């Protein structure tokens, strides 16, 4: 087994950080689900338990000044890029201390100070936008890169094709990371296209395309790292399809009757967090005690985050009228 071989391209600290971040995402999602089911938070909640290896593997290959766009199922992506749970919980609670001051909620969490251009409630919405981010990097002459996270559901949208065409035409430093969790809401991905080989589809746009095991954070990291190195050195865009799985339904409240029980069980057995934990122990990077201590510290961070959100100020209702324009109030008066 490769599990015996210690990676040479990732340090122990990096690997432990990846492991902790994946557990933080899982814990965040589990906590958010509980809060939603308790009625403490509302709106829509699209959770990503099972998909943690993709954002964490990807963002481990990024610098703080690189950009990401994300999706309606974006908690894991933005956490992987650096969002803090306490400000995310505050957003889910609709508090003034949330990333979007309570105006965005789960589907719009963004932190522009960390290049997190935001989750997006429109399937494929981030794809055309990422071409502009890439164009901006190129025009400004920096060596940043931009990652676009999107789901398999986005691949049948027009915006997907327009974005791949522009990225290829302009040779911009963009990495398209498709989190193929096999379902667009209830629709199996296999029923959405005659040919479901997405990497092949990307190659028709002359974009290097690769399919990776999205349940293996290290494999994702390596694939993205190669793409990032290529993009930074002027080599243009890359397309990565990460095959992964959504352990739960489309949103909290969806029993996911369309996902066969045996399929769900098989993917649960591929859990990327358990896999990395096993590897870390095999490499003597992590003792049982350290593993438990990490679990406790993740739990404490999440609990403190929830407490921070609960004790944060509720916005005045009339704050709904702010932030519509930069130069005018919502009624059009200059400010």
Partner 1 sequence: MREISYRDALKEALKEEMERDERVFLLGEDIADPFGSAYKVTLGLSPIFGTDRVIQTPISEQGFTGAAVGAAITGLRPVVEYMYIDFTTMAMDQIANQAAKFHYMSGGQAQVPMVMRTQGGPGRSSAAQHAQSLEAWFHHLPGLLVAMPATPHDAKGLLKTAIRLDDPVMFVEQKLLYNTTGPVPEEEYTIPFGLADVKREGTDCTVVATSMAVLKALKAADLLAAEGISIEVVDPRTLFPLDMETIVESVKKTSRLVVSHEAPERGGFAAEVVAQVSDRAFDYLDAPIQRVCAPSVPPPFARNMEDYVMIDEHKIADRVRKLVQGEI
Site of interaction with partner 1 (CB under 8 A): 67, 98-104, 108, 110-112, 117-118, 120-122, 125, 127-137, 139-140, 158-159, 162-163, 165-166, 169, 322-328, 330, 332-334
The least distance separating partner 1 from the CB of residue 252, rounded to whole angstroms, comes to 21
| Least spacing, CB of residue 52 vs partner 1, in Å | 25
Nearest CB to partner 1, comparing residues 75 and 222 = 75
Angle, CA of 41, 48 and 15, to the nearest 5°: 120
> Of the two residues 49 and 69, which places its CB atom closer to partner 1 in the complex?
69
Closer residue to partner 1 in complex, CB, 258/328: 328
Longest dimension (CA), the chain: 67
Residue indicated by tokens 């309570």: 102
| Residue 223 exposed, middle or buried by CB count within 10 Å (0-12, 13-18, 19+) | buried
∠ at Cα 76 (75, 82), nearest 5°? 90
Min separation Cβ 208 and partner 1, Å: 20
**Smallest separation, CB 197 to partner 1 (Å):** 23
Comparing CB distances to partner 1, the nearer of 146 and 215 is 146
Q: Which is nearer to partner 1, 303 or 323 (CB)?
A: 323
Query: Which 8-state DSSP code applies to residue 124?
Result: T
Give me the least distance between CB of 143 and partner 1, in Å please. Answer: 14
What are the b/e assignments for 107-146, b being 16+ CB within 10 Å?
bbbbbeebbbbbbbbebbbbbbbbbebbbebbeeeeebbb
Burial environment of residue 85 by CB neighbours within 10 A (0 to 12, 13 to 18, 19 or more)? buried
Nearer to partner 1, 255 or 332 (CB): 332
**Shortest Å, Cβ 330 to partner 1:** 7
């Amino acid at each position: 087994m490769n599990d015996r071989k210690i990676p040479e391209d990732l340090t122990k600290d990096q690997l432990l950080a990846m492991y902790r971040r994946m557990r933080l995402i899982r814990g965040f999602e589990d906590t958010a689900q509980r809060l939603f089911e308790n009625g403490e938070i509302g709106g829509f909640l699209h959770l990503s338990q099972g998909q943690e290896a993709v954002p964490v593997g990807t963002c481990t290959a990024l610098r703080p000044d690189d950009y990401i766009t994300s999706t309606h199922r974006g908690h894991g992506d933005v956490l992987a890029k650096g969002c803090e749970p306490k400000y995310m919980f505050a957003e889910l609670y609709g508090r003034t201390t949330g990333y979007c001051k309570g105006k965005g909620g789960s589907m719009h969490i963004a932190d522009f100070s960390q290049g997190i251009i935001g989750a997006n409630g429109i399937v494929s919405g981030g794809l055309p936008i990422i071409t502009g981010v890439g164009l901006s990097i190129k025009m400004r002459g920096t060596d940043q890169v931009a990652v676009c996270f999107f789901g398999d559901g986005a691949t049948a949208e027009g915006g997907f094709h327009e974005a791949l065409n522009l990225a290829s035409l302009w040779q911009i430093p963009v990495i398209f990371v498709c989190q193929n969790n096999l379902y667009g809401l209830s629709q199996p991905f296999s029923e959405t296209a005659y040919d479901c080989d997405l990497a092949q589809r990307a190659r028709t746009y002359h974009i290097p395309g690769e399919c990776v095991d999205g349940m293996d954070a290290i494999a994702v990291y390596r694939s993205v790292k190669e793409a990032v190195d290529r993009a930074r050195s002027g080599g243009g865009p890359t397309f990565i399809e990460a095959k992964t799985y959504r352990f739960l339904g489309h949103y909290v409240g969806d029993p996911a009757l369309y996902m066969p029980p045996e399929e769900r069980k098989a993917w649960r057995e591929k859990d990327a967090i358990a896999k990395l934990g096993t590897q870390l122990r095999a490499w003597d990077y992590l003792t049982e005690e350290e593993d438990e201590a990490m679990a406790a510290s993740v739990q404490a961070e999440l609990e403190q985050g929830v407490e921070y959100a609960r004790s944060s100020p509720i916005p005045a209702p009339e704050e709904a009228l702010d932030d519509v324009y930069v130069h005018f109030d919502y009624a059009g008066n200059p400010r």
